[in-house]
Structure 1
């Protein structure tokens, strides 16, 4: 059997509702800022997690018209990560690209259908290459001039985590030395918002001037706020990183996946627990070693209870003292990008020894009775190992473990 390689994260790029870079995003989360707000003149009618940063600096308008916002979002995060990584041309050419997205270029697709029916004016857009789900990965690989591989995963809300996990496996098992992996999503259109409304999973907006529509694990929670964003991580074998003098942010030390096999919409605690257990087993880890868990926790009534039950199933008595938090109250639910953003935040939390809070938490649900790091960030000087949960509609579960280097 081939010897497994140690895999480290050496650079991170992000675009989220609370920051245009990874550093801005993490700092804002630790400060307890909320990026969910009204998106004026959008026709959406609900508060959402919108990326306010300029995600297309230097992109020629003619080129931008041939790309959906999801591709621009992914390119922005990839550009930041690659600039921080400082790779040479040969290293870029051998860099694999792995991107997760829930739906791909749906904004352009919606616009094309509306233009066809005369609802909006037609624009000179090449719809097929702009709308195809693998467009973000293809464009990033083209920019890198990569001849390795460019893969796309569309496993709903776990897609970004799956992309990172599969890139991790490629490097660990010796197929690649370096990869760029993460997720991107941009679906804030009236049409898509109406589709989500059908499922009755979106949170009720708070009173004017107040924050906190999405309140994971809280009593009287009503659902999630739809969001957009992207996160891309540079992964390398520890040997490759050391040879070029790159300082690791954290080590990826476990990856577990499972499929609920039960219902297309309702999650299952056994399936989620299986993914967490497989992640720990993959890294040769025990549940008692985990110091922090970044939860999927979208803020739906049933979902948060099921995840809490799954955590208890895996961690036993340790679950009662394990810090668990969700960042979805701060940025909303970025669907296919969520797992990547949360994995990136978990890696940075391990590196810095501080974990983000669960915003707007209100006790009262007796089925959600863990330590959810309510309200304010928590410094954890002894933080060495953390887990990030990501669960997708359709039953796809992906869990990543990060260790301090």
Structure 2
């Protein structure tokens, strides 16, 4: 018999809040954190984090770690402080973390130092830059002797990490797991690289109507963002035995690959991931009430996701509420799925759906209920889906349920 998997703690740092409560309040109130960077000269406004990431780090660690690890630790410490596990349980807790690119600032600094145009190259650039560095530092914080795994699946990485942790717990490999995603790629060099793909929107701070606006007729792309989110997951039996209160339940996970083109999403591949997640959850499409969409605000991507939803849900698609929070925080690449998971969990707890910001109708191929511009209070919300679709054709979908004994 498969074991029930519940969430008992959450932590995050984001452009719109430095903990889950502030984050969801900003979503509910329709605030965004995409603005010009105050320290870096960038060509676009970005969703950047202004938290003090060094406050709980020893001096030597604050000098050694890349920003991507600092944010992961910030989120992990939050989650670990809520309904905390015993020291013994922590050592047996698996760590599962997704990131798109790892410690890119360390690499950019090393290249600049090599050309004598930036900081001197430090000896520890490789351990700071390696993609599994955030995972390793969290495992060290916990004295973890269980598995500590890193997933680099582009924009699905955070969701994949949560989904793989869910499977490990459900199938009996571990009783507890800390899972999520982190990303810190706001660098001038990376912005220029993203520009070459023609996926970045125009300045959202000075021209909100032309900024990141998923599903809208005149959408032009996304704003790059940064952040991290971690959630503690455990078997229901383990949680209740230690007196922890479940926040929500993970009931399904589905993955697929488009198998077509690394940069052109495919509705068939996305629909496969959604269908597999529903099958894993043992629910029918009509039981889903809300989808937290991947929707980045690109012309093609939002249409493809809408088509995939229609493929899976049929006539029920018109009854679903679908919203995207990327207009609030930007696109956090490997971390977005983890923050969107927390948003979905908070929706299940509060029965409040965050709106799709800056929405204006008109695209005939995006014709679902996108919860436009204003949060929605529901009387009932039991089952919700969180979609993540990434470059390389990777697709990952999570299904969450309001906790009931």
In the TM superposition, what is the alpha-carbon distance from 1:346 to its structure 2 partner? 0.5
The DSSP-based 3-state class of the residue aligned with 1:157 is helix
In the TM superposition, what is the alpha-carbon distance from 1:352 to its structure 2 partner? 1.4
In the alignment, what sits opposite 1:349?
A: 347
Any gaps of 5 or more consecutive residues in structure 2? none
Aligned structure 1 segments of 4 or more residues deviating by more than 4 angstroms: 209-212
Residues 35 and 204 of structure 2 are in contact (CA less than 8 Å); yes or no, is this contact kept in structure 1? no
Residues 294 and 326 of structure 1 are in contact (CA less than 8 Å); yes or no, is this contact kept in structure 2? yes
In the TM superposition, what is the alpha-carbon distance from 1:274 to its structure 2 partner? 0.3
In the alignment, what sits opposite 1:241?
A: 239
Out of 84-93 and 270-279, give the one that drifted further. Answer: 84-93
In the alignment, what sits opposite 1:280?
A: 278
**Residues 130-279 of structure 1: pairs in structure 2 closer than 5 A:** 130-206=128-204, 208=206, 210=208, 213-279=211-277
2:320 is the alignment partner of 1:322: yes
Q: Which residue, 35, 41, 44 being the options, matches 1:43?
A: 41
Query: What TM-score do you get using the length of structure 1 for normalisation?
Result: 0.98
2:57 is the alignment partner of 1:59: yes
Residues 255 and 401 of structure 1 are in contact (CA less than 8 Å); yes or no, is this contact kept in structure 2? yes
Give the whole-Å Cα distance in 1 for the aligned partners of 2:400 and 2:129: 33
Give the whole-Å Cα distance in 1 for the aligned partners of 2:54 and 2:149: 23
Give the whole-Å Cα distance in 1 for the aligned partners of 2:240 and 2:370: 36
Give the whole-Å Cα distance in 2 for the aligned partners of 1:342 and 1:150: 22
Give the whole-Å Cα distance in 1 for the aligned partners of 2:216 and 2:50: 28
Give the whole-Å Cα distance in 2 for the aligned partners of 1:182 and 1:16: 13
Give the whole-Å Cα distance in 1 for the aligned partners of 2:355 and 2:30: 7
In the alignment, what sits opposite 2:92?
A: 94
Query: What TM-score do you get using the length of structure 2 for normalisation?
Result: 0.98
2:283 is the alignment partner of 1:295: no
Give the whole-Å Cα distance in 2 for the aligned partners of 1:208 and 1:242: 50
In the TM superposition, what is the alpha-carbon distance from 1:161 to its structure 2 partner? 0.1
Deviations 1:117-159 (A, max 9, x none): 1111315451010000000000000010011110000000000
2:111 is the alignment partner of 1:113: yes
Residues 201 and 210 of structure 2 are in contact (CA less than 8 Å); yes or no, is this contact kept in structure 1? no
In the TM superposition, what is the alpha-carbon distance from 1:56 to its structure 2 partner? 2.1
Give the whole-Å Cα distance in 2 for the aligned partners of 1:123 and 1:114: 8
In the alignment, what sits opposite 1:308?
A: 306
In the alignment, what sits opposite 2:331?
A: 333
Aligned length: 403
The DSSP-based 3-state class of the residue aligned with 1:5 is coil
Q: Which residue, 374, 381, 385 being the options, matches 2:383?
A: 385
The DSSP-based 3-state class of the residue aligned with 2:277 is helix
Deviations 1:274-295 (A, max 9, x none): 0000000001010000010000
Residues 204 and 212 of structure 2 are in contact (CA less than 8 Å); yes or no, is this contact kept in structure 1? no
The root-mean-square deviation of aligned C-alpha atoms, in Å, is: 1.1
Residues 258 and 393 of structure 2 are in contact (CA less than 8 Å); yes or no, is this contact kept in structure 1? yes
The DSSP-based 3-state class of the residue aligned with 1:82 is helix
Deviations 1:13-35 (A, max 9, x none): 01010001111101111111110
Residues 212 and 329 of structure 1 are in contact (CA less than 8 Å); yes or no, is this contact kept in structure 2? no
Residues 92 and 176 of structure 2 are in contact (CA less than 8 Å); yes or no, is this contact kept in structure 1? yes
The DSSP-based 3-state class of the residue aligned with 1:62 is helix
